[in-house]
Amino acid sequence: MTSGWSCFDLGDGMLAEPRLAELLEQLPKADTAHALFLRRRFCALHCQVLLYCSPALARWARSRGAVECARPSRCGLELLRGSEQEWALLGAPSAIR
C-alpha cells in the first residue's frame, strides 16, 4: 500500500532557493485540498531541505522529479502552502512525555 506522499530533496539550504521558487511558481491552482510542507534538516556544516507534497499533489510532484515517500512526521515541518487544516493530513500530533 502506498502513502501517496511525495518528496523533493532540494539539497543544501544555501542552494535550494532557486529550485524551491521554481516549484512554487509551477504549483497548480487546485480546487482540492493540497499542501506543501518544508523541512530543514541540520547536519554538521550544512542544511538539507526537503519539500513534502500531500497526496493531492502526487501526479504534479512526480512529473517534476519527486519520489514517493512515507507520510512525514510533524516534527520540524513548516506548512509552506495550504491552509492550517492541512495539518490534519499528517494525523494527530504525538503526545510528548
Per-residue pLDDT of the chain (97 residues; tens, 9 = 90+): 477 999 999 999 888 999 999 999 998 876 567 899 999 988 777 789 999 999 989 999 999 999 999 999 998 899 998 888 888 888 766 544 3
Domain total of the chain? 1
- Within 13 Å, how many C-alpha atoms sit on residue 50's CB side? 17
Residue 56 lies in a domain: yes
Residue 91 lies in a domain: no
What value, to the nearest 5°, has the Cα angle with vertex 16 and ends 75 and 18? 135
Phi, psi torsion values for 13, nearest 5 degrees: -60, -30
Q: Please give the residue range of the domain that contains residue 57.
A: 5-84
Residue 51 lies in a domain: yes
Residue 36 lies in a domain: yes
3-state secondary structure of 95: coil
pLDDT at residue 91, rounded to an integer: 78
Residue 95 lies in a domain: no
pTM: 0.85
pLDDT at residue 82, rounded to an integer: 86
Residue 80 lies in a domain: yes
Residue 96 lies in a domain: no
Both ends of the chain: CA-CA distance in Å? 31
Q: Which residues of 43-60 are buried (b: 16+ CB within 10 A; e: fewer)?
A: eeeeeebbbbbbbbbbeb
Residue 92 lies in a domain: no
pLDDT at residue 30, rounded to an integer: 66
Residues in the chain: 97
